[in-house]
Amino acid sequence: MPIRIRIPRCGSLRLKAIWTTATPQTVANFLGYVSAYPNTLFHRAPAGFVLQGGGYQVYDSQSDVFEHIPVGAPVANEPGISNTVGTLAMAKVGDNPNSATSEFFVNLGDNSANLDSQNGGFTVFGRVATPSLTGALAALEAFPIGNYNVNVYDPLTSSTTSSTFNDLPYDPSSASFATITSISALPVLTYSITTPPNSTVATATISGSSLQITAVASGSTSVVVGATDVDGNTTTQTVGLTVQNTLAQWAAAQGYTGALASGTADANHNGLTNLQEFAFLANPATATLAQQPQMALTPVASNTYAEITFPVRKFAAGLTYSVEASNTLASNDWTTLWTSNDGFTAPVVSKTVDQSDRTVVTIRDTQAASAVSRRFLRVKLIGP
């Protein structure tokens, strides 16, 4: 689980990894302090050695008085991973291997020869992404680092004790410290569109880890998606896109040829013609429609009207949808209420739901249900 630690004037440290398997107790201990770390200082930064923080905060806005954040029980030492450049480890009390609580440090140099064995070995539990470490260190160089006498406030006794903080990053001109402002989780990978598709065929957007494709017209194109980790390493994947918007293209994609490819054929013997399956976005493999026409009675003011809801396939060249009404079902007693050529703003359209490959439309009858003894609505398809 990558994590970002934000530091004013120093950008942010991005933790590429925390090793929950190798150091489970240490990781759990660190994560337990995440909500307490904002506003704590990096109070020790000897050049080329470590950047240590997670312990102290300024007490009551007094730049010369510090207060240690509340800590829980010490965590058991879990050494084994080497203290090399960019690794994250827990600080602890001298001569007490199992004394780590909230304080941690980033190894600014290769400290393996010293810290891997000292005091039982310092537990490394994470690694900072190289680009963020380089950026943070470059910014940290602009921070004056010196030795300061400060008072440390003890909330248990309501008293202060004078103490010397060596190698403290502090800018007297602005009375500012290198402070943690926030810690937040990062995605393992971030995604972007490296090469967009041909916009005359389709458009593409990315939301988080989801790629959203919107068809525009019939044709084929591709989109190149890039994935970048917190180290800045990137890989790409090309996704081929084909937009089908005719019955003939749909039939060919199903493997239908000859007479089985016609609109009137029932190629998969499910009682629906190819034209019906195409128009209502069926899945031929399961013989199910995306949405069959659905009837409902809807109250409107003081009356009730029959409505019919169904999907209209987008970009369906040569296909027309027609909604008709009848009182008798006689062949000569059907009146056209709406056709897809009328568009979705026609007066009889009561609702539309736009989706990537269809528009689900609801057509309302022009006669109130109370005005007739019976009423029938149907969707008629006219295709190639």
pLDDT of 309: 97
Domains of the chain, CATH where assigned? 3-185 (2.40.100.10), 190-243 (no CATH), 247-279 (no CATH), 294-382 (2.60.40.10)
Could you give the percent of the chain with pLDDT greater than 70? 93
pLDDT for 344: 96
Average per-residue pLDDT for the chain = 88
Section 210-230 average pLDDT: 88
What pLDDT score was predicted for residue 1? 47
Highest mean pLDDT among 122-136, 177-191, 304-318, 320-334: 320-334
pLDDT tens per residue across span 14-26: 666 678 899 999 9
Lowest mean pLDDT among 174-188, 197-211, 342-356: 174-188
User: Residue 194: is its pLDDT beyond 60?
Assistant: yes
Cα Rg, the chain, nearest whole Å: 34
* 251: its two tokens: 């039939």
Region for residue 167 given its phi and psi (left: phi exceeds 0; alpha: psi -120 to 50; beta: otherwise): left
Quick one: pLDDT at residue 240? 92
> Which of 91-95, 141-145, 165-169, 353-357 is predicted with the least confidence, judged by mean pLDDT?
141-145
Question: Is the confidence at residue 298, as pLDDT, over 80?
Answer: yes
- Which pLDDT value is given to residue 196? 96
Inter-residue contact 380 to 322 (CB < 8 Å): yes
7 has a pLDDT exceeding 60: no
**Which residues, 6+ apart, have CB-to-CB distance to 75 below 8 Å?**
25, 26, 29, 90, 98, 100, 101
Lowest mean pLDDT among 59-63, 84-88, 126-130, 362-366: 59-63
Q: Higher confidence at residue 8 or residue 53?
A: 53
pLDDT digits (tens, 9 = 90+) for 56-91: 998 876 778 999 999 999 999 999 999 999 899 999
pLDDT in tens, 226-281: 998 877 789 999 999 887 778 888 888 889 999 999 999 998 888 889 999 999 98
Q: What pLDDT sits at residue 287?
A: 61
Query: From residue 103, how far is each of 34, 147, 202 by CA, in Å?
Result: 11, 19, 52
pTM over the 0.85 mark: no
pLDDT of residue 362: 97
| Confidence check: pLDDT of 317 > 80 | no
